[in-house]
Structures are given as C-alpha cells and as structure tokens.
Structure 1
Amino acid sequence: MTPVVPSAKATLGSWAWVLVAGIVPVYRFAAESGISWLPEMIIGLIAASLLFGRARSLPGAAVWIFAGISIVVAGAISGTSSNITASLRTAGALAVLLGITPFVLRYYFVHSKSFASRAATAFLLVQSISAIAALAQVAGMSVLGASANSGRANGLAGHPNVQGLMSVIAIVLIITVYRSVSPRFRALLVVCGGINLAALIATGSLSSLLSMAAALIVLIAARRAGLRTIFIGSACIVAVIMISLTIGFDPSALFAPVSHRIDVVTGETDGVASLGIRQQTYAFAWTYIQQDPFIGVGMDSMNQGTFNGITVVHNYILHAWYQGGLAMVVAIAAITLLLLRRIVSAMSTGERSSEAAIIAAIIVYALGSAFYDQQQYWLPLLFATVSSYSLRGGASLKKDERAQHGRRAPKQRHQNLHRGLLSNN
C-alpha cells in the first residue's frame, strides 16, 4: 500500500484550523467583544471538515466516539431537570467538539506537512501579543478596553486564569522548540518566553502556576533532564533578575498579584474564589450527586450555580457529574484516562514530551477551575493530544493502515510523514 505523503501546499481547510489555533489565546476576549458567533463558527468548521472528508482515524478513536455519544445521552437525560432542548443544545456542541475534532485534526497533521508548525506559530504570536497586553495592564494601562482585574492581568484572554494557562502553553512550546530553530530566532524566543513568564506571574493565577509546575515536571522527567539543564535554566532566571535590577526594575513587583491571590484563596482577605468558597461548591455538588448520581441538573446554564446559585463547580470531574449526570462523568473519565496514558507514555519513552506537558498542565488547571464545555480550554488539549500520536518514522500511520485494511502494511521507510505540534519545518 502506498503511504500518505503530506502535501507541502497549504489548503484552505488547513489555514482555517491554523486561524483557530491563533484565536485560542484571545477566544474569550473576542467572543465578549462582539464576535458572539465564534463558538458556532468553530462548530461549523468541524462539521464542514467532516462533510468534505477531512477526517482520519487515530489511536484511541473509540474513546472519542464513545465520549461524543455519552455526552448527547447525558444532555437528554439531565435535560429533564432543566430544559431538554437547551441541555441537548449544549451537549450537542460539546459532542461535536470532542467526538469529531480529533479525527479532523488528525487528518491535517497527516496530510499537511507544515500544519503543525503553522498552528504553533499562530498560537505563539497571538499569545505573546496578549502577554504584552497583560504586562501593560499591570503597569496601569488599558489595552483595547481591557484592564487589570483587581491588580491581576487579563491580557487579551478575558480572564487572568485563562491568560495564565495560555502563557503556560506558550512557555512549553518555546522551551521545546528552542534548540530546533536557527540561532537568529533563539533570541526572539527568549524574549517571548520572558514576556509570557512575566505575564503568567502578573495574572496571579495559582491554578496556572500549578499547571506550569506540572508541565515542567513532565518535561524534566520525559527529557531526562540532568543537573546541567536545571543549572542553565536557573542561571538564566538569575541573569534576568540581575539585569532587571540593573535597569531599575524590581522583579518582585510582578509577584504582588500572586501574593494577593494567595491571601484571597486562603481566606486571609475577602474574595469570590477563596478556598472556602470553592470547598462549598464541591460540597454542594457532591451532596446533589449522592442524592441522584444518574440524572444531573442539566447541561445548560439554568441550574449550573451551586450553593449561591451563581458560582459553578471549580473541578472539571465534579462539574461534569453535577451537570450531566453519570453519562457525562463517564465520558469525561474515559477521556481523562486516555490523556493520562499519553502522559505516562511520554514520560516513559521520552517521545512527544511537549504535548504531554501541555496535556498535564491543562488537566491540573481543570482540577481547580470552571472547566466544562469551553472551546478555549478543549481546543489546545485536542491539538496536543492528536499531535502526541504523530510519531516519528510514520509508526502511527502504519498502525492506522493495519486497522483500516485488516492486514499488515508493507514495510517502508517513512521520513517524518507527519509532524507533531512542535515540529520545525
């Protein structure tokens, strides 16, 4: 059988998905600034891609199909507690996102030679602009009408926590591609990395900082980083601090949002996201689940609030179970197990460490946030997950061919038939 050779020519479909990758860092800001049809546009793109045959099977396909079906079932059943039509509408959009997008992205990773590098570049470019806006906000400026939120930088992400997570993803990408780019671009990457790190700290997002820690742990473990690498990284941080002090800037000022946020979360000061309030949402959701573990309160927003009728559950597993019932949490659990398997695989083999680090960062973030059906959270997770199967030498492509044709694919040498998220073309 003739192997698929990726095309060097970009198609309209591949550019559309590169555009989506570039929108991700500013998705919420864009949606709240007049582009309210953005979610529908992305669902339409997914549907159009499938309609025109731009989809390909991938390892773990059964999990995504099962999740999509289960989510629809959850929407129908839980809708009896709220509004069946509204619940099914929310469930349908999420089912399309999770049940079809992995197959569409797989197609472009396999068939478009530069898709991965273009998508990563688009994300980094837009996110770095958002990070610059975040630094301007903590300096007291307003950018496109967006300003700091109680001293915490929003950037162009629409919320400090979202800005923090996007900065984490950008930092992981920069760390990973640094050695693979030409020397003339490395200085630019260092600057972008510094900007995103500063923006991450300026958001004061503890969830994002924990995500960054998880990503670094996966990267260090998967890459078998030695003391030399850790020493160089530490030396760079010290150098940045010394240069900052030399030019009259006190880096400790950046940590003010973090220290304030710690006081809020621990209850030292008043705040809507204190640890006590989060625990109340967990307790409220768990009490409901114990009373009725099957139905859920509805996947739409009618009953999403917890103890005060407003604050949602800040844990993606409890959130899914509380709103969608047993069918929804089973779907999310299946996806989580698949994602954890990708992380373990990367840490044991050293392959696709960057994708695994991004997956780990998003999972840790989801454990303490209102992660639910937001496309802005799921899209980077799906990009990273699908990219993690893009093994060197076409190994995963051979596996696809065996599964689809029921016989052993001929032994051939494939020279990077498709590239992962961080490939340099």
Structure 2
Amino acid sequence: MHKIAVLGSTGSIGTQALEVASLHRDEIRITALTAHGNTEKLFEQVRAFRPAMAALTGKEVEIPEDLRFCQWYFGSGALEKVALQCDAESVLVSVMGMVGLSAVLAARKTGKKVLLANKEALVAGGKLVMDVCRDENGEKVLLPVDSEHSAIFQCLEGAQGNPVQEILLTASGGPFRTWKKQDIEYATLAQALGHPTWNMGRKITVDSASMFNKALEIIEAKWLFDVPESKIHVLVHPQSIVHSAVRFRDGGVIAQLGVPDMRLPILYAMTYPRRLETGARELDLASVATLTFAEADTEKFPSIALARQALRAEGIMCCVLNAANEEAVGAFLEEKIRFGDIYRIVDGVMQKTENRQIMCLEDVLCADRAARVLARDMIRTLI
C-alpha cells in the first residue's frame, strides 16, 4: 500500500489524482489532503478518502462533526506542517504559487518523495529543489507530473544512461497558434481561455495562450534533466499526441505518445515504475493519422526568448520572470490589461531588476516579492 499526501486536492491536478487513486484503493492510500478556499469540495474529499490529516490554507472554518476524525490545520503555515508531519511515502505537490516551493523543501526534510505538479518550485527555486532532490541509492525522489516533463522522464528511462543530445519539448501552440501578432495583442479573455486540446485552470490556460507555460517548462526541464537551455528545443505540435521527445547523439529519437489526458502522467508518478489503469481512452494512431510539427514563433510569442534570457542570466531572474508573469496574468484575468501587456510587463520587470545569486529560500521569497511590487506598479500605469 503506497501512502500519498495530496497538496492542492481541490484543483485540476488534485481532483484527477484522487480520481485515479480511487481506481486503485488496494494500491494507493490517501493520507492527507489540503485546499486553500474550496472548503465544501475538500469536505467531500475527506469524507470519501478519510485521510489522517487535512488542511485549509485560507481562513479557519468550523469543521463538521463527521469530519473531526482527522487532524486539521489552518492558515499559511498549514501546507508545510502537512508536508512535514503526514504519514506518507510520497507528497503530490499540486498547489499553485510559491507555497509549492516551501512544501517541496518541507517534504524532503522528512525523506518523502515529491510528485511535482507545481511550476514555481523549479522555476523560482530550481537550485534549492535539486539540492535536496538528488536520487538516493539509485531511487528517484523527484517525479514530474507535468505531461511534457513526465514524457521526457519516460524517454530517459529507456536511454540506458546515454547522454542527451537534445530535448524536444512539444507545445500545442494554444488558441493563438495561427493568429497574426497584431491580433494576439488584443485577444480577449474569452479567446485566451479557449484552449483547443487541454482542460486546465484559468491561469495555466492563459499561460498556454501566451506560451509562458512553455517558457516555464524550459526552465523546469533545465533543472529536472540537467541540460542547458541551448539543448531544449520547442516544437509546436497541435495534435498534443507526442508529449515530448529526446534526441541522442546517434540521431535516434525516443518519444512518448498518448492521448492528452493528465490522468496518465499523474498516475505514472503516483505508481512509478509500475503502470496501472487510468480510465483514460487508449491512443488509436490509425484514427489520429497525421502528426505535425513546426518551429515555435518567438516573434509572436516572446515568452520563450524571455525564459532563455532568464536562464542565461541565472541568479534570481527566473524567479523574477515567474512572479511578473503571475501578476500580469492576474491583471489580465480581471480584464485590467491587454493580452499583449503580459509580455511587456514581464520584460519590463526583468529589465528593472538587479540580478543576484540565490543562496537560500529567503533569497527566492525576497526576489519574488520585489518583482511583484514592480509588476503591480507597471500594471497601474496601464489601467
């Protein structure tokens, strides 16, 4: 029986994780659940899975009498407490934001494996995460949940230690793949939220439309697989069937294919190295018939170039990029700024920030706060 804690259980990744876990109750036991503000959904999950521990990181609420069988935590420090104290071999970190970094570090303090579905942890604090997530006696302690990074991880499982020549990171291209640059500038919120293949939360859907999602994934891949950004090649693949691939020095390419369904990489991380039934439909290549690939247009989507710039600068710049993007996307979701302003805000904040090295968690948090202040100042001038 594999014991797993799910941090962020009411979000898109968390709910799908519980869905696949419910198919394998003889294999997986959920021992802790956390949410931020979706109280009623968390209560339903606690009733269904009966974990020993649960937490609400938002305001404290009255716990129904039938749910007092488990230990409850509340407030901003609740996530770290659960990551530290829960009875689990693995912790699925599917919360959004910088709290994910603290949760990863807390889970590793007590030797738990991390199933990572939080982008900020690696983007903002990649060095800190990798310093505590090195393989132990040949055993993986950090498993990616993101579909592209899971695909790369699976490709490398078959590499037998051969060095990577190039990572081929695929992208759907989002809803604006065929749009002209000037039209993308004025895209509406409804248009940005209309992703052609994936069903995701609002923030990540906007990131996919701007291709900041792919920009962040370049940074994550650099840390996860220890390759320079120059060896990470983004390919637009609108069918979203090839989730990513790896090229080796003999010219051979290993790719991972599957239907666009997050239940596959989620359960793979939860049960690694075993593969169990997910409930997803099987890939029928004959019905797909055609797979197409194209170079990413960095003129239309400057996000990829900004990520490469941040990686080359090292230090706090990836953290700054992430924080500025979060603030800009938040303003766009509230329809305060234009879609094209997202790029200008991120670029502007990076230019205004003096770079420095990251030595500890506080360095990351400090850089994050400062970048957000700069981003909000820029947003105010655009409203």
TM-score above 0.5, yes or no: no
Q: Relative contact order (C-alpha < 8 Å, sep 6+): which is higher? A: 1
Which of the pair has more CA radius of gyration? 1
Higher strand share: 2
Give the TM-score normalised by the residue count of structure 1: 0.27
Give the TM-score normalised by the residue count of structure 2: 0.29
